[in-house]
Structure 1
Amino acid sequence: MTSPDTGGDREKVVTKLTSTLRQDLKVRAALHGLDMQDAVEAGITAWRGLGAALPSVDTGDAESYSTFLPSGLWDGFRADCKKRGISLTQGIAQAVTLWLADNPVPEVKRPAIVRRIVVCNQKGGVGKTAITAGLGEALAEDPAALVPVRVSKHFAALLDTGEGRTDPLALEDLPGLGQRVLLVDFDPQGHLTKQLGQEPLPMNGDSLTNHMAGEGKGDLRELVVTVDEDRFGGRLHLLPACTDAFLLDVRLASVRAREAALERALRAVESDYDVILIDCPPSLGLSMDAASYYGRRRTNEVAGNSGVLIVVQAEDSSADAYGLLTSQIEDMRGDLALDIDYLGLVVNHYDARRGYIATSSLQSWMDIKDPRVVGVIGDLKEQKEAVRAKRPLLAYAPRCEQSVALRALAREISK
């Protein structure tokens, strides 16, 4: 059945399509940046050009499906189906199947130089660990599946809703980013390790601290574990913490070129990943120097590929801590002539219902501009529930407000 499309030269077509083909078509069209109707048009055009019917497709559970096609295309397709002795339902199934075969899932774009994202703030309790984990999860999601994302242009709406969240309808389904991600728990407290359901490394074994001190007992790869959730497809890994990191600053004091110690240790695994995220301790010691140095811009690396991501809260004490941290980073920049890029500010645990302090503080962060606010993450229950369940947030509650915002953050700093 057809009906005219008053908005242009297309006509509405009502046919039948299986739920599996419809979902595959929706995802694949999005991956290629196409409207579904354009993909169907291309499939029908290619099918008609073959001059013969393709192998039969199972259409047993086909349901009503409508789309818009150029005027006249459906009539020609109907005539071809009749000539080939097949139903319209079978014909459209073959056309969509043909388009899917001709348009496979695009390869994920890999960075020329591994991205190194240093998540930091010397103030404890701002949620660095949750941001590190959530950002890594968002970067690693399935590139052949669609996930809900809220784009960054809606940040400003937080100042107007009075509810601590943006319009729930302002979402867009986008493909997962499909990056190979290593999360490094650089905090001796081991919150990232425990949050993801893993155990800290034993004190009498090998650790990142040993490798940074030049006393590694084996291959660093042997310490890495996979975050075992289907939606990450084996792309999300963790280098667990060890409580020996409490002694890291003392051990680094006697290490040659100690600011490069983290880079020397992680160089062995860099080729395995697209992105490495460092969950820093709440400290301004030598370990923070090593993390900042690791995030510096390398030779031939484009600006903004790597750098520091600062997590703050919408309250006054975060501003004081931010000043201390940026002073240390600026000192490193000047003393060692380094290019250390600020990837942005993430305002975490935001809830406008806390009143003027929260809203005015958020506005103050947004007024800074350099570094700019790249994410606003609400203070909602799902994150706490995921920590209790020892599961990644984006696997525990993939459609919650925090998951949606973390995906937006991943895309904002990947531009």
Structure 2
Amino acid sequence: MNRIAVANQKGGVGKTTTAINLATALAAIGWRVLLVDLDPQGNASTGLGIKHSQRERSSYDVLIGSSSVVDAAVATRVPRLDVLPATVDLSGAEVEMVSMPDRAHRLDKALNAASARWDICLIDCPPSLGLLTVNALVAARHVLVPLQCEFFALEGLSQLLQTVERIRAAFNPELSILGVALTMFDRRNNLSQAVSEDVRACLGGVVFDTIVPRNVRLSEAPSHGLPALIYDLKCPGSEAYVRLARELLSRLPRVAEAA
């Protein structure tokens, strides 16, 4: 099972929107997809239409060891796409895990036990570099970084990259940066173009060719409990995520079970 952490410690850069729509695109082409919601706000779960009454078990239960991933995962309205939902209990998980000797490996061990169930796993990380994100990076094999096309886009990116290097050295030598996805691009704003050029100049080929535009339909979709690709497949945001999914696939190792 390929595992990708969608991470950036800055909030509001499109992590959850990216995770939801890439998961939907991959499921649409036949992959069995698990989306792990590791954000206590639970926006990825809500954005896929998972009501709080359906979250009897959650990623919190998996991390503290009271449930398996298979038992806690919930099927979504998207065929072949399941979500490991989040609840507000997750906000206390970091405190509870501090005393556990394997606190950085909790998610990794849980996913190892469920590796035959899904072809690919996307992990929606919280906007921080705390123990929840560390668990995601230890469990993942790749990191996808959504980067907002605004003035402070590169602020904090070096800190995330340093964290990735530390995780690679201490826990997970297989971890690699899959790519940086530019999001919330506003073609009417010269600053967006300038930021895009600066990021490509700094990071080169690690930046995906696809740029996700700022799009009203992308913002509306979660309120309907639907991925944008289902809410409005023809909107510019959805079309961008379809292209981004193709690029992502071209960078991933082959998975024998995937369609």
TM-score (norm 2): 0.90
Compared CA separation, residues 201 and 240, structure 1 to 2 (3 A): farther
1:329 CA drift (Å): 1.0
1:182 CA drift (Å): 0.8
Q: Is the 8 A contact 1:182 1:275 kept in 2?
A: yes
Match of 2:39 in 1: 187
- The residue type equivalent to 1:313 in the other structure is Q
1:337 CA drift (Å): 6.3
Match of 1:134 in 2: 21
Match of 1:289 in 2: 134
1:220 CA drift (Å): 3.2
Task: Kindly report which structure 2 residues correspond to 1:72-111, keeping only aligned pairs within 5 A, or say none.
Answer: none
Q: Is the 8 A contact 2:208 2:244 kept in 1?
A: no
2:108 counterpart of 1:263: yes
Q: Distance in 2 between matches of 1:364 and 1:406?
A: 22
Of the three residues 221, 236, 245, the one matched with 2:90 is: 245
What secondary structure, in the 3-state scheme, does the structure 1 residue paired with 2:129 have? coil
Match of 1:207 in 2: 58
Of the three residues 396, 400, 405, the one matched with 2:235 is: 400
Q: Distance in 2 between matches of 1:372 and 1:386?
A: 26
The list of structure 1 runs, each at least 4 consecutive aligned residues, that deviate by more than 6 angstroms after superposition, is none
Q: Is the 8 A contact 1:128 1:279 kept in 2?
A: yes
Count of residues in Structure 1 that have an aligned counterpart in Structure 2:
249
- Deviation string for 1:61-86 (max 9, x for gaps)? xxxxxxxxxxxxxxxxxxxxxxxxxx
Q: Distance in 1 between matches of 2:73 and 2:52?
A: 11
Between the aligned residues of both structures, percent identity stands at 33
Compared CA separation, residues 206 and 136, structure 1 to 2 (3 A): closer
1:376 CA drift (Å): 1.0
Match of 2:254 in 1: none
1:222 CA drift (Å): 2.7
1:309 CA drift (Å): 0.1
TM-score (norm 1): 0.57
- Deviation string for 1:177-232 (max 9, x for gaps)? 211111111100011111111124789x5432232223x1x443232222214xxx
Q: Is the 8 A contact 1:138 1:407 kept in 2?
A: yes
Q: Distance in 1 between matches of 2:53 and 2:110?
A: 16
2:203 counterpart of 1:351: no
Q: Distance in 1 between matches of 2:80 and 2:36?
A: 14
What secondary structure, in the 3-state scheme, does the structure 2 residue paired with 1:352 have? coil
Q: Is the 8 A contact 1:212 1:264 kept in 2?
A: no
Q: Distance in 2 between matches of 1:391 and 1:336?
A: 36
Of the three residues 63, 67, 70, the one matched with 1:221 is: 70
Q: Distance in 1 between matches of 2:84 and 2:110?
A: 12
Compared CA separation, residues 318 and 248, structure 1 to 2 (3 A): farther
Q: Distance in 2 between matches of 1:211 and 1:227?
A: 19
**Of the two structures, which has the highest relative contact order with CA contacts closer than 8 Å and spacing of 6 or more?**
2
Compared CA separation, residues 254 and 283, structure 1 to 2 (3 A): same
Q: Is the 8 A contact 2:185 2:212 kept in 1?
A: yes
Q: Distance in 1 between matches of 2:25 and 2:120?
A: 12
Q: Which of structures 1 and 2 has the bigger CA Rg?
A: 1
- Consecutive unaligned residues in structure 1, runs of 5 or more: 1-113, 142-176, 297-306
Q: Distance in 2 between matches of 1:248 and 1:193?
A: 18
Q: Is the 8 A contact 1:366 1:373 kept in 2?
A: no
Q: Distance in 2 between matches of 1:385 and 1:202?
A: 22
What secondary structure, in the 3-state scheme, does the structure 1 residue paired with 2:206 have? coil
Compared CA separation, residues 223 and 257, structure 1 to 2 (3 A): closer
Q: Is the 8 A contact 1:200 1:240 kept in 2?
A: no
2:240 counterpart of 1:388: no
- Consecutive unaligned residues in structure 2, runs of 5 or more: 251-259
Match of 1:65 in 2: none
Q: Distance in 2 between matches of 1:375 and 1:249?
A: 35
Q: Is the 8 A contact 1:349 1:379 kept in 2?
A: yes
**RMSD of the TM alignment (CA)?**
1.8
Q: Distance in 1 between matches of 2:10 and 2:237?
A: 22
